[in-house]
Structure formats: structure tokens, C-alpha cells
Amino acid sequence: MAKKTPDTEIKARIYNAARRLFVEKGYYQTSIPDIVKEAGVSIGAIYHHFSSKEDLARVIHQDALAQFLDRYDRHVESVVRAEDKVRGFVRFMFEWADEDLIMVNYLLHGRPQEILEYNFTICSAEGLEAVKKIVVTGIEEGTFKKGDEVLMAAFISGPIMRLIELKTDGIITAPLSSLAEETAEYILAALKA
Amino acid sequence: MAKKTPDTEIKARIYNAARRLFVEKGYYQTSIPDIVKEAGVSIGAIYHHFSSKEDLARVIHQDALAQFLDRYDRHVESVVRAEDKVRGFVRFMFEWADEDLIMVNYLLHGRPQEILEYNFTICSAEGLEAVKKIVVTGIEEGTFKKGDEVLMAAFISGPIMRLIELKTDGIITAPLSSLAEETAEYILAALKA
Amino acid sequence: MAKKTPDTEIKARIYNAARRLFVEKGYYQTSIPDIVKEAGVSIGAIYHHFSSKEDLARVIHQDALAQFLDRYDRHVESVVRAEDKVRGFVRFMFEWADEDLIMVNYLLHGRPQEILEYNFTICSAEGLEAVKKIVVTGIEEGTFKKGDEVLMAAFISGPIMRLIELKTDGIITAPLSSLAEETAEYILAALKA
Amino acid sequence: MAKKTPDTEIKARIYNAARRLFVEKGYYQTSIPDIVKEAGVSIGAIYHHFSSKEDLARVIHQDALAQFLDRYDRHVESVVRAEDKVRGFVRFMFEWADEDLIMVNYLLHGRPQEILEYNFTICSAEGLEAVKKIVVTGIEEGTFKKGDEVLMAAFISGPIMRLIELKTDGIITAPLSSLAEETAEYILAALKA
DNA sequence: AATGAATGAGCTTTCATTCAT
DNA sequence: CATGAATGAAAGCTCATTCAT
């Protein structure tokens, strides 16, 4: 149940083709004709369902973001202890990547720069905030050392993103979720008081 | 002494303008007219000094790579203990980023996909190998825990790359080198037996 | 019924403008903007209907060739006596030139060198063969002298091509077909035993 | 002594490289960089010796034309009987082609259209005149039939040009001069009363 | 809803030519 | 004499987008 199901079959074909191509080749390297070929639809169909190429990217991005926030709420926000927040964060990101690697990559890398500006992304300053909140909780709890919060946050998001990249590049072949516990323990080893 | 000094003044202007724009806007989003404006040269001058836009990207990439390998040799290869390799790696990457953030970003993100194929990059499988060798040394020494080498390598490169990104985005304003010791200690805390 | 009628009006405008310009100025001296002006269409329209400038030239060439072969079949192949083959050949070339001088010139001179390679042309070795077959027939029949076949073939195609050139340059103003009988008789006078 | 010998060695290298390339690839398809490579000289050297690319073509053309006119004078003008004029014409064209095929082709096909306008060429109206004069002489003498002079002229220049083309394309491998007598006899057979 | 013909700005690259050295 | 760095107009082609059907 990873993907939002768009209203019509054709819309779904466009959506999925675009998502895949944006991640594989990059937003700017993907042309409308590319999407036409990949989705097997007409140019007109694309512009009937989406107002522009950028809009298409934005809709996908918003879906990806909504999924991220939903999972973040369930696995991080609603959890009390910082250690469990870290475990939850790692676990949901890896499970999500196993379910829908394209969507996770879309959130990390697949959209045009223009979208970055008016949207939260896990790579952006706002994305950092989400992770920083975990760090702050841990420090307040006394579980984590006192240290530079930004630097500490980089020890949560950095390895997670790097491992998702390695999975994407085919260097890691096992399901990422099988590495979740070990990854969380390394992060905690780095951060714990 | 970060930048290679190309032979002529105009060639240097082209080289530096291209480097900056490729990093800021991305290779594909940077047009030759953009470089013309930024460098204050003519189209013809660019094609006089470089055989194509891709060649320009390749030359920059090779310089960046040569610098990386040189620094890697001096701060990692020529050092014996795994702990010192980690410290050396963090320190040289952060010092390099402070000296020439554009070049470091170029190596990490600035080149066209086409170049990836026939070249080592720190993001690629080959780049991973360099980092994995540090991990292997540490395990053999008995300094590091026994664990998945790829995962452990992600705890070296992941936070480093993430912190360079945060510096690039202006979220970190202090010199990265002032964070080097602390960063290295976190990495070691994560990996040590 | 000289020209093939392409499917759409715009495609036909492109086709005819290109044909005319390729013959008048030469393939390489005709730019896409020239065709745009001459045909009164947009650049995009050209590339919508033809995949490249060379493709446009190739399509025209294939039409010209198909017409040549059709006429050759009807006026030369299906005729028995060598004398009548010569008369048929001269007549159909001159009638064709009167009907559609541009197309005949296109076949003779109007295409880029690249097309020459994978196609029969009246100027090429293969084109020569068609004419040589007439000569061989005449010799076997005993109507023509025994002589160098290539040289004799040059007495059929050489004057025909030269007269079409003179018509094209406006030096000959009368319809070429009015010269067909006389031309054929000169050729036969040269070749007959 | 077919070629004019330009003053300096470098000028000669440019001249010969240009001549060869203009014939092989066509004037417009030959770039100054092509000539630079072929001749092994600098761009500056070309512009030192010739004022422009077109000037280079014009100088070559004028040499070719001067040679043509000289040979025409010696083998056609200075000869009395029409039959001998034809024989002389064929012989000198074929001998010239055997000596310097590139130069003959240059006269026939190798120059830019711009030059055509203010110069005599064997293909042009003026070139036709030279050949027509032979025909007129023959008719006045009573040696040739009475007929359309232009048409009859096409029986002199057409086969000659066609045979030179066939030699250039490598279809004829024997020296053209070995075909001169036979060719002249065919022409005379076509034209004689 | 769906199609694809048509548009034209903008891209990378080539090339004849100039001129300081 | 000779060089080649520098110029910029113009080339072939791509692509997001519009709109009549």
C-alpha cells in the first residue's frame, strides 16, 4: 500500500512512469516524450491530468512527503524515548525503501530544484529539523551526549541516506530492513552518553 | 593550493565558471551561454579550450579526483592505525571543503552521469572500496567491532557527506574543520569494539 | 501525376520546399531556417514530420527513385528491341523532366553524399548498370557495334543528363520531349553497327 | 606540368590540400580546419596567402580555367577540320584527366556556386559556347548533319563528362586516353552527315 | 477524455575570419 | 612570415506546451 492510487488508469500510468524516470534519469533529463513512451499515453493525456511537467513532479513529491510524514508520526513522533525514536526512524525508512525504493529516492533526489524551495524535504533544512528533534529529545532525556545538535543529527540521517543509496546502486542486495537493528545500534553507539 | 591552475587566464575563467555553475545548478541545467556570461568569454573560447561541454566536466572531474586521491594517500593510506585513518579521512575532507567547497561538491554531485561510468567517484562502488578498506583494517586490528563492512563504511562516508551538504546549504556556518575531531570521535564511537 | 502527394498539407509544403531548395542551392547550402521560410511552417513542424534533415532528403530521394524505376520498367524493361529501349529511355526521361524538372534534378544531383551509399542512383555504379543492360541487349541482338560497354553506356546517359542540365539552366527553352526523337536518333547513330 | 607552382612551399601545400578536399568533399563541406589538418599548416598561413576561403577556390578555379583554355587553344582552336577538333577535344580532356583528375573535376564540380557567376566554366552557358563552335564549324564544313546545335553540342560534352565521372568513381580503371579514339569515333558517328 | 500536429525559444556545436604576438 | 587564441553568427535539433479535433 505504498503508492497513492490515482483516479484513473491512465493517470496512474503517467504518474508511475514519471516517478520512475525522474528517479532513474533525473527530472531535467526526463522529457515529456520520454514519459509518453514509458507510459504508453499521448502528450495530451499528460497535460489533461497534470498542468505541467513541474506540476507532475510536485504531485509526486507531495505524495512522497505525505507518506514520509505519516510514517514519521507513527514511528517517531508517537514514541517516547529517544532510543526508540532512532530505532523507529531507521526501521520505517528501511521498510519504506524495501517497499517502494523509487518513492524514497524521489523524496531524496528526484525532484527539480524549483520544488525544493517551497517544500519540506528530508535533505533540506526543514528535513533536518525533524531529525534534530530526535537529538534534542535524547539530550534532554540524558540518553545522548551533549554535543553539536546538527552534527549529531548528521549521524542519524547520513548513514541512513548512504545505505539507501547503496541499496539503490545495487551494492547492497539484502533487504534494508534486515540491517535496521544493526544500523540503529551503530547510531546509538555514536550518540549515547 | 586547492585549485589546479590552468594554463591561460581565459581557460581558467572558463574552468572556474563552469565548476561553480555545475555545482550550483547542476551539469544539465548549466548551458554554454550560462558559462559564457559567468566567465565573460565567447562561445568560441570555450570550444577552443575544451572539446565539448562534457569534456569540460570531465577535466574538472579528473582534477577533483586527483586531488582526492592525493589527499587520501597522504592522510589515510600512509597512516597505520584504523583510528588515525578515520581521523585523517574526516580531517582532510573537511579541510578540503573549507578550502574549496565547490570542488568537493563537484566530486560528490557536480558531473554528468556519463562521466560516472569510467571514473572512480567517492559516491560510487569504487569510492566505497576506499572507505571499506579503512573498516577492514580496523576489524583486522581488533579496534573495530566485527560487523557488516558495507554498513560500517556507511558510518564513515554518510555523516561526512551529510555534513558537507549542510555546510554547502549554509546550515553549518562554522568551518567544517572545527568539527573534525568531534565528528571523528562519533564515528569511532559507532565502530569501535 | 508527377509528385507523390504526402498525407497532410503541411507535410507537402515542407516536402516541396525542401525539394526545390535542395535542387536550387544544394543540400548542404539549404538550412532548416531556409526551408522554414520557403514552406511557411515552423521548425517544429519539420521535425514532427521528418526525423532529420537527412531523413527529409532520403524520403524525397526514395520517391524520385521509385518514380524512375517505375518509368524505367514501363518504357525500357518491358520493351524488346534495343533501339526501342533507347527511344523509350530518352522519351521517358525527357517527359519526366518536362513534368517535374525538380524531381529529376533531385535524383541527379540534389541529395547529400550520405544517401548515395545505400541507394541506387542514376549517376552511380548501379545507375550505370541499368543503362549498360540496354547496351548489352543491343550488342547481343546485333543491332549495336561491339565495343566497350561502359563507353557505349556513356553515350546514352551522358547526352541525356547534359540536355537536362541545359534545360535546367534555361539554355534550352523548348520542352525536352520535342527533342526526344532527335536525341534518340543521334544516340543510335553513335551506337549502331 | 599540369599544376601551376605557387610561390612558396606552404602556399603550395595549402593549394593542393584545398583542391583535393574541395573535389572530394565539396567546397561547402570542406572547412578551414579541414584544410589546416590536410595541409599541415596554421590557420594564419591560409589567411596570409589567400584572402578568404572563396578566394582560395577562385584562384584554383582560375588556374583550372587557364589550363583548359590553353589546351583548348592548342588542340581545338588551332585545328582546322571539325573532325579533328572533336578528336583534339576528347584527347586533351582525357589526357588532362589522366594527368590531373582532381583539377579536371575541380573545373567540372569543385567550386562554390558564387564563382560560377563571374566565370566561364565548361558546364556553363559560356562553356557550351566553346563546344558549340565546334558543331557550327562542322555544319558549315558540311561534315556534320544540320541539326539543333545545342543538342549536337550535348553529344560532345555529355559523353566526355560522363566518362570522366566514371573514371573518378573508379568504375573505369584504364587510362581515359586509351579510350579517346573510340570515344571520338562514337561522337563523330552520331554527328556526321 | 484523449489525441498529436504545430510552435518557437533555447540548446550544443561548427566555422570563417581577425589580430596580437 | 607564421601562429593560434578569440570571436559570434548561424547551424541542426529538442522540448515543454497549446489547441483544434
Q: What is the 3-state secondary structure (H, E, C) of C37-63?
A: HHHCCCHHHHHHHCCCHHHHHHHHHHH
Cβ proximity of B94 and B133 under 8 Å? no
Handedness of CA A90, A85, A116, B109 (dihedral sign): negative
Alpha-carbon distance A161 to A137, whole Å?
22
Question: How confident is the model at residue D130, as a pLDDT?
Answer: 85
Residue C122 has pLDDT above 70, yes or no: no
- B147 and A182: CB-CB below 8 Å? yes
Among D163, D171, D187, the residue with its CB nearest the CB of C125 is: D171
> What does the pLDDT look like over D174-188, one tens digit per residue?
999 999 999 999 999
Mean pLDDT of C125-130: 73
- Do both D28 and D66 map to the same domain? no
Alpha-carbon distance D88 to C170, whole Å?
29
- Do both B19 and B108 map to the same domain? no
Indicate the pLDDT class of residue B111, thresholds 50, 70 and 90. Answer: confident
- D151 and C26: CB-CB below 8 Å? no
- D151 and C25: CB-CB below 8 Å? no
The whole-angstrom distance between B186's CA and the closest CA on chain A is: 5
Nearest to C156 by CA among C173, C168, C140, C144: C144
Question: How confident is the model at residue C80, as a pLDDT?
Answer: 95
- Do both B38 and B82 map to the same domain? no
Residue for cell digits 552534527? Answer: A151
Kindly determine whether the C-beta of residue A38 is less than 7 Å away from any atom of nucleic acid strand F: no
Q: Select the residue from B23, B162, B188 to test the A interface by mutation, using most A Cβ atoms within 10 A.
A: B162
Among C162, C169, C189, the residue with its CB nearest the CB of D154 is: C162
Among D161, D182, D191, the residue with its CB nearest the CB of C151 is: D182
Query: Which residue in chain D is spatially nearest to C188 when comparing CA positions?
Result: D190
Residue for cell digits 569510492? Answer: B127
Question: How confident is the model at residue B143, as a pLDDT?
Answer: 96
The whole-angstrom distance between B7's CA and the closest CA on chain A is: 33
Q: In CATH, what number is assigned to the domain containing residue C28?
A: 1.10.10.60
- A191 and B191: CB-CB below 8 Å? no
Domain around C184: 54-191
- Do both C30 and C100 map to the same domain? no
Nine-digit cell string for D8: 612558396
The whole-angstrom distance between A6's CA and the closest CA on chain B is: 30
∠ CA C126-C129-C134 to the nearest 5 degrees? Answer: 150
Among C161, C182, C190, the residue with its CB nearest the CB of D189 is: C190
Nine-digit cell string for C101: 524538372
Detail the protein residues whose CB sits closer than 7 A to any atom belonging to strand E. A 8, 10-11, 41-45, 47-49; B 30-34, 43-44, 47, 51-54; C 8-11, 41-45, 47-49; D 30-33, 43-44, 47, 52-54
Alpha-carbon distance B48 to D87, whole Å?
55
Alpha-carbon distance C96 to C1, whole Å?
10
Q: Select the residue from D166, D172, D183, D192 to test the C interface by mutation, using most C Cβ atoms within 10 A.
A: D166
**Which phi-psi region, left, alpha or beta, contains residue B23 (left: φ > 0; alpha: ψ -120 to 50)?**
alpha
- Do both B21 and B115 map to the same domain? no
Question: How confident is the model at residue D3, as a pLDDT?
Answer: 45
Kindly determine whether the C-beta of residue A54 is less than 7 Å away from any atom of nucleic acid strand F: yes
Q: In CATH, what number is assigned to the domain containing residue B81?
A: 1.10.357.10
Among C123, C150, C158, the residue with its CB nearest the CB of D158 is: C158
- B186 and A151: CB-CB below 8 Å? yes
User: How many contacts, defined by CB atoms under 8 Å, are there between A and B?
Assistant: 93
Nine-digit cell string for C159: 547526352
Cβ proximity of B179 and A151 under 8 Å? yes
Which residues sit opposite B144 in a β-bridge? Answer: B192
Nucleotides of E under 7 A from a protein CB: 1-20
CA-to-CA dists, residue D83 to B95, D70, D126, D134, angstroms: 93, 20, 22, 9
- B187 and A183: CB-CB below 8 Å? no
CA of D32 to C1' of E6 (A): 38
- Do both D146 and D100 map to the same domain? yes
- Do both C122 and C180 map to the same domain? yes
Indicate the pLDDT class of residue B6, thresholds 50, 70 and 90. Answer: very low
Residue B4 has pLDDT above 80, yes or no: no
Q: Which residues of C touch D (CB under 8 A)?
A: 25-26, 28-29, 113, 123-125, 128, 147-148, 150-152, 154-155, 157-163, 165-166, 169, 171-172, 179, 182-183, 186-187, 189-191
Task: Give the number of other CB atoms < 10 A from CB of residue D8.
Answer: 11
Question: What is the Cα gyration radius of chain B?
Answer: 18
- D29 and C28: CB-CB below 8 Å? yes
Question: How confident is the model at residue B158, as a pLDDT?
Answer: 95
Cβ proximity of B71 and B77 under 8 Å? no
Percentage above 90 pLDDT, chain D: 76
Among D124, D151, D158, the residue with its CB nearest the CB of C179 is: D151
Question: How confident is the model at residue C126, as a pLDDT?
Answer: 64
- B163 and A154: CB-CB below 8 Å? yes
Indicate the pLDDT class of residue D125, thresholds 50, 70 and 90. Answer: low
Nine-digit cell string for A34: 520520454
Nine-digit cell string for B45: 573560447
- Mean of pLDDT over chain D: 89
User: How many contacts, defined by CB atoms under 8 Å, are there between C and D?
Assistant: 95
Alpha-carbon distance A182 to A179, whole Å?
6
Q: Looking at this protein, which amino acid is placed at residue B142?
A: G
Task: Give the number of other CB atoms < 10 A from CB of residue C44.
Answer: 9
Burial class (CB in 10 A: 0-12, 13-18, 19+), D3: middle
Which residues sit opposite D144 in a β-bridge? Answer: D192
Alpha-carbon distance C134 to D2, whole Å?
38
- Do both A66 and A147 map to the same domain? yes
The pLDDT tens digits along chain A (193 residues) read 444 444 688 999 999 999 999 999 999 999 999 999 999 999 999 999 999 999 999 999 999 989 999 999 999 999 999 999 999 999 999 999 999 999 999 988 877 776 655 555 555 656 778 899 999 999 999 999 999 999 999 999 999 999 999 999 889 999 999 999 999 999 999 999 8
Residue D5 has pLDDT above 50, yes or no: no
Question: How confident is the model at residue D115, as a pLDDT?
Answer: 66
- Do both C90 and C157 map to the same domain? yes
- Do both B21 and B64 map to the same domain? no
- Do both C58 and C86 map to the same domain? yes
- A154 and B148: CB-CB below 8 Å? no
| Claim: this prediction has a pTM higher than 0.75 | yes
Provide, as residue numbers in chain C, all residues whose Cβ is less than 8 Å from the Cβ of D156.
Answer: none
Q: Select the residue from C86, C129, C143, C151 to test the D interface by mutation, using most D Cβ atoms within 10 A.
A: C151
Question: How confident is the model at residue B70, as a pLDDT?
Answer: 93
Mean pLDDT of B12-28: 95
**b/e A174-185 (16+ beta carbons within 10 angstroms → b):** eebbebbeebbb
- Do both C25 and C65 map to the same domain? no
Residue C67 has pLDDT above 80, yes or no: yes
Q: Using a 7 Å CB cutoff, list residues 1-20 of B near strand F.
A: 8-11
Mean pLDDT of C39-47: 97
Number of independent structural domains in chain D: 2
